[in-house]
Amino acid sequence: MTIFLRCLAKGLFGSIMVWVLFMGLTTTATSTAGNYPERPVELRAAGEPAGGLDLFARAIEQALVKENLFKGTLTISNQGGGGGNPARAYLKGKKGSGYVLLTESNRVYLAPIMKTTDMTIDDFTPIARIATEYLAVAVRKDSKYKKWQDIADVLKKNPKGVSIGVGTVPSNDQINVLRAAKVGGIDPAQIKVVAFRSGGDLLTQLLGGHVEVISTGLSECLPQYKNGDIRILAISAPERLSGDLNQLPTWKEQGVDTVVYHWRGVFGPPQMPQDAHDYWVETFGKMIKTPTWKQICDRTGWFTAFIGGKEFTKAIKRKPPKSKICSDR
C-alpha cells in the first residue's frame, strides 16, 4: 500500500486536503529595474501537450503577447510523466538562471509529503500562483454510468470493478475521486486507479476505451464535453458554475461533502536572480488584470487566485497539519 493510500486508510486524508486546498487570495507585486530579459525565456510545462499545465503555459503566452506585456521571445516546451518530478529536476538543474520558468501545481509540496521525490520547495524559486480550477469526473458519452452513484454502487461490491484514470500520482486528480469514494464508505486503497502522463493522454485513453472513468481538471475535458464526446458526472466545486457549465452537477448535491481546488502557478530555478524574479511577479500581476486573461478564464472555467513573490513562498512553506505523521507511515 502506498504512503498516500495509508494516509487515506488511517483517516489522515482530511489533514492533507486542508493543506491542498489552503492558501489565501492576497496579491503582491514588486517593481524591478534593469535590462531583463535580454534573451529568450523558456516556459516549460510539467506535463504533456494538451494537458492542464500545457494549456496553462500557452494561456500565459497568449495573454502576455496579446496584451504587450512581454516583448521578448517566450518558448514553450513540455516534459510530462513521473508526477512532474523530471520537469522539476530539469528546473533544479538550471540553478541561478533567470531564463527558465516552469508551470506546476500543488504537486510541488504534495510529492515530498508523499515521499515520491527528495526535492522540496527549497529546490525552486516560487514566483506566483496564478489560477485555480475544479476537478471533474467524466465518462464516455455511451457509458453505462449515468451518475456518480452508479459507479459507487459497483465499487461497494467490488472496489476494483471500475477502472479510473488520473493524469498523475500523487495529484488532485487522484484526491478528487478517492475522497469521493472514502466519503461513500469505499476503501480507497482498493480502488483500481490508473495513472497516465497527462490530462491530454488521459482523455485519449478514455475515448479509446482503455479506462471507464477519469478524474481530471475541468478545463482539460471541456472541449470533449462541449463536442458531446463525454459526459461529466461531477465537479468538485462548492456550487454549480454559471453560464454553459451550469448543467454540471457538484459532488455536494450528490451527497459527497467535498470540494477540491486545483491551482497552477509558475516557478523559477533555485537562486534565480532577484531582478528576474521580481520582473515576473510584476508581469504576472499585470497579466491577471487584463481583458485577455479574463476571456481565457471564462473559456476554461479557471478563476484567478493570484499570490506572488514572498507571500507565495510563505504559503507553500507553511507546514500542513500532521503531514509529517502521514509521510512517515
Same fold, 3-133+261-327 and 134-254: yes
Which runs of E-coded beta strand occur in 60-166? 74-78, 100-105, 125-140, 163-166
Q: Which residue has the higher pLDDT, 10 or 230?
A: 230
> Is 50 exceeded by the pLDDT of residue 74?
yes
According to the model, what pLDDT value does residue 35 have? 87
According to the model, what pLDDT value does residue 11 have? 54
Q: What is the pTM of this model?
A: 0.79
User: For the structural domain made of 134-254, what CATH number should be given?
Assistant: 3.40.190.10
- Write down the number of H helices and E strands in the chain: 13, 10
HSE-up of 180 (CA within 13 Å, CB side)? 32
> Is 70 exceeded by the pLDDT of residue 31?
no
> Is 50 exceeded by the pLDDT of residue 149?
yes
C-beta separation of 131 from 56 below 8 A: yes
CA 122 to centroid of chain Cα atoms: 20
Rounded average pLDDT over 249-262 = 94
Cα 172 from Cα 177, distance rounded (Å): 9
Quick: pLDDT tens for 83-98. Answer: 899 999 999 999 999 9
CA distances in angstroms from 322 to 113, 166, 326, listed in the order given = 10, 26, 6
Element (DSSP H or E) covering residue 277: helix 274-287
- Name the residue ranges covered by the structural domains of the chain: 3-133+261-327, 134-254
Indicate the DSSP class of residue 250: B
Other residues' Cβ atoms within 10 Å of the Cβ of residue 18: 12
HSE-up of 74 (CA within 13 Å, CB side)? 20
Q: What nine digits make up the cell of 41? A: 525565456
Question: What is the CATH superfamily name and number for domain 3-133+261-327?
Answer: Bordetella uptake gene, domain 1 (3.40.190.150)
Instruction: Give start and end residues of each alpha helix (H) in the chain.
Output: 3-9, 13-21, 52-66, 85-92, 107-113, 148-157, 172-183, 199-207, 218-226, 274-287, 291-300, 309-317, 323-327
Q: How open is the CA angle 121-127-130, to the nearest 5 degrees?
A: 110
CA 183 to centroid of chain Cα atoms: 22
